[in-house]
Amino acid sequence: MRSLLKHLLLLAALGLATWAVVLGTWYAQRRVVGLDDVLQYLLVLPLLLFAGVLVLRKWPLDKTATPPAPLADGKAAADTADAVPSAGTGADAALPLLAAWVHTPAGADVSTLLAALAEGQPRPRPDPLLRDQDGLPMLTARIAALDLAAVQADWPAQDAPPPSPAALRALAALSPLLDQAAQALADASPSDMTGPAPTLHVLAHWPAEWSEAQAQAAQTWLAQRLSTLAPAGLAGAANLRPLRGGGALLEQAQTRLTALHRAGRDARLLLLACHSDLDDEALQRLEREGRLYALPRRPRGLMPGEAAAALLLSTRADDAPAPPSDDATSALAPVHLRALRFQPCPPADHARRPLDAAAPLQVLLDGALRACGMDAAALACLSTDADQHGDAATALYALAQSALPHLDPMDDLHLAGTCCGHTGAVAPLLALAAAWGRCGVSGTPAAALSLTGDEYRMAAILAPDASALSAQNRAA
């Protein structure tokens, strides 16, 4: 019965995706549709795609085949080099990912987010406040309850512009994550450590759409918030750095952690990001850029969303994860970030051909797997920031069918954009957090892919610490 339900859901998903593409194309072409067109494109085509998916899952490609030889002109080597950031060469150091905290429309912790991703709910829904150009409710992903008054009360008064409604919502989504991270760090016992406690570094990302004055005011607000938290937690975070631009946060995090690890320094790095599209100004900007979801003009556009995320990483291989709390994913097996790779986004004309985007994604994923000496068959989960109606989903499913045919599309592929909408630079952190939660619960490797960024794509490989797992199994 479960297998039949999965197949029916897969058929429904393929049918809806096919209908959306075909109907959108017909509308754009002003095509006069006949009965033959309806039967061929709306009935036969989805059934053929469904049969093809079943065949690929039953008879996956032979992974023992000899890989193709590199091109003589060096193009393959150049593509692979593009996927590797400038920081570090060769095998990556396994850096512990100690904890992840999220605040999303789908839930306020990682376990709730994973449950929503498994169910495919909640999806973007008609917004109670925002309207499109025709006066109809916008489809958005909105966090149900945010303490906006607390952020306004702590907002710096001296010569600081008031936050826009979207910025206020983004910071209100981030605020409870600071409390959770501070509590986890304060509760972590350093009794097993020799010498001083690890130095804490904080990297905070502010959306590039914010004005410089607004970003500086948000930085002042964050510094004040950190100073009021537990002394053993974030109050000692003197190494606070603001960042702008979507690709800066994770690249800077990798560069800094790699340098600290090579220098033999014990350090922890807290990554913070927040985003919200939910005000009229943000929606008008997306409309001007031609990116806002709108039927029938842009059926593959962005659905406005909001979210905040915080990740805690360490340079010390035996660093302990955060202690258990009410979040079920806090008591997890230690998870290491084994590889992190980036790739520039393709040109706009190439991005309009979603099936062509699977090839560079394959290069990106292969580069990350190669960096940590892992085979694709070892991955038990693929978490992404893609939504279900956009071009990124098409490229993702093509990649999964060709490179990861052993993964179940219903259970093992996570599309965070389906639940959270467009979340800017928070999106890759959500993909990492979902992969961290799945990896820690199952004790099996997982991959995270970010496909929705304006500047770069990201692939990360996470795996449980083998020595810690062996110790836990012996204790059990």
Question: Which of 94, 87, 85, 69 shows the shortest CA–CA distance to 367?
Answer: 85
122 and 42 share one domain:
no
In angstroms, rounded to a whole number, what is the distance separating the alpha carbons of residues 304 and 282? 9
In angstroms, rounded to a whole number, what is the distance separating the alpha carbons of residues 402 and 56? 8
DSSP-based three-state secondary structure for 325 = coil
Instruction: Provide the percentage of residues in the chain whose pLDDT is more than 70.
Output: 76
- From 332, 366, 381, give the residue that closes a domain: 332
21-30, 45-54, 209-218: which is most confident: 209-218
- From 312, 332, 352, give the residue that closes a domain: 332
2 and 148 share one domain:
no
31-45, 223-237, 417-431: which is most confident: 417-431
Q: pTM for the whole thing?
A: 0.77
Whether residue 406 is contained in a domain is answered as no
In angstroms, rounded to a whole number, what is the distance separating the alpha carbons of residues 173 and 186? 22
* Interstrand relation of 335-344 and 95-103 (parallel, antiparallel or unpaired): antiparallel
Whether residue 225 is contained in a domain is answered as yes
218 and 283 share one domain:
yes
Structure token digits, residue 231 = 């002394």
Return the pLDDT at 473: 43
Question: Which of 137, 159, 162, 143 shows the shortest CA–CA distance to 151?
Answer: 162
Return the pLDDT at 65: 38
> How buried is residue 317: exposed, middle or buried, by Cβ count under 10 Å (0-12/13-18/19+)?
middle
What range does the domain containing 168 cover? 95-189+196-332
> How buried is residue 73: exposed, middle or buried, by Cβ count under 10 Å (0-12/13-18/19+)?
exposed
- Out of 21-35, 135-149, 183-197, 366-380, pick the least confident: 183-197
- Return the HEC string of 385-399: CCCCCCHHHHHHHHH
Residues 6+ apart with CB under 8 A from 427: 307, 385, 416, 417, 420, 450, 452, 453
- How many domains are contained in the chain? 2
101 and 216 share one domain:
yes
Whether residue 73 is contained in a domain is answered as no
Whether residue 417 is contained in a domain is answered as no
Return the pLDDT at 148: 95
148 and 243 share one domain:
yes
CATH number (domain holding residue 108): 3.40.47.10
More confident residue, 108 or 37: 108
> How buried is residue 444: exposed, middle or buried, by Cβ count under 10 Å (0-12/13-18/19+)?
middle
Structure token digits, residue 243 = 């960042």
